[in-house]
Amino acid sequence: MATSRSNLFIVALVVWMTRIHPCSARSKPKFPAIIIFGDSSVDPGNNNYINTFFKANVTPYGTNFPGHVPTGRFSDGKLVTDFMASTLWIKDVVPPFLAPNLSDDDLRTGVSFASAGSGYDDLTTTLSNVITVSRQVEMFRSYIDKLKGIVGDEEAKSIIAKALVLISAGTNDLIFNFFDLPTRRLEFNFDGYTGFLLQRLEDLVEEIYDLGCRKIIVVGLPPIGCLPFQMKLRLENPRNRHCLEDQNSDARSYNKKLVRLLPEIQAELPRSKLVYADAYQPLMDMINHPEQYGIAETSVGCCGSGILVGLSLICNGMSPVCRNPREYVFWDSVHPTQQVYRQLAKYVVKEVVPKLTYAF
């Protein structure tokens, strides 16, 4: 009888520990860390620490973030990578400026080097003075050195090799240098410029591979022609909004090239796994079938919707803000709402992340 009671107590204790400690053996995380490069779609607030006007550290940004504070994320709340981290049992995604002091208890974290306004083309950042992708790699290099100082070279190499790496950029390159400003159109046609961007992406992948990264997700372009900023800028009658098919067609063309390129890069990098994440179709599905997602508005942003741009200079405490961001695809004139990011994260975790487990 005593043995029976003892066994019952042990079973109860195991159940209790499983509930209290979700990172138990039964729900062991697949990745020790998340490492992120790119633009505003994955920037948790890096631009707060540099001299640029591309910032989202003012209200009403962050109105639905825990604590209702503007963190520098270009959304009313969390980003795709925030939701991915929580689903994959990774600690909060933070800028390297706010990364923990890398104690043994805080190594399982998400670190994003991304900078709003950045792109693969360094020319994209000329006016905004944000962190170029090449500079993001240098920041990552410094982060690795700090990691090695805490856990040693071998453990640091293991963490980086097993980490989930996500790259999300390219939209700013086309908007700033091709669609809206003729900067690169003076020297490239569309095929030439996208080829240039994809070469820069390949260079980036090779750089971070040389630093130890092996499991890499590369995000494609969204339907750029459906961004409220682009529609209002290009349409003669902004009240009659519809997606710009020429820009969407160009985005699809870029994505097809990217899908073909990734296996070629992977073949040149032993023990690497490069996976494509489709940002176009999931977002387009929400725009075309909003009722399935509880969305009512697809063509204007929740914040600053009546003003020309609706970026951080316009989306601020004096901007008109919708009552329920959950019913909107876009938070401002470019960036999705937290609700949309939540849906995109579900797609990435379910459809994309499992492909990385085939790497080893």
Catalytic residues: 40, 332, 335
User: Is 339 within 8 Å of 325 (Cβ atoms)?
Assistant: yes
Question: 100 is written with which tokens?
Answer: 């923990």
Give CA separation, 107 vs 17, 144, 186, 294, in Å. Answer: 22, 12, 46, 37
Q: How far apart are CA 248 and CA 154, in angstroms?
A: 45
- Cα torsion for 228, 229, 233, 238, to the nearest 10°? 30
CA angle 211, 215, 218 (to 5 degrees): 100
232 neighbors 333 (Cβ within 8 angstroms):
yes
Dihedral of CA 57/63/66/69: which sign? positive
Residues 6+ apart with CB under 8 A from 68: 62
Rounded CA separation 79/76 (Å): 9
Determine the residue type at 270. Answer: P
The answer to whether 156 touches 146, Cβ cutoff 8 Å, is no
Rounded Cα distance between 259 and 254, Å, is 9
The whole-angstrom separation of Cα 297 and Cα 327 is: 6
CB 51 within 8 A of CB 129: yes
| Amino acid identity at 194 | T
Distances (CA, A) of 138 to 96, 207, 216: 12, 10, 18
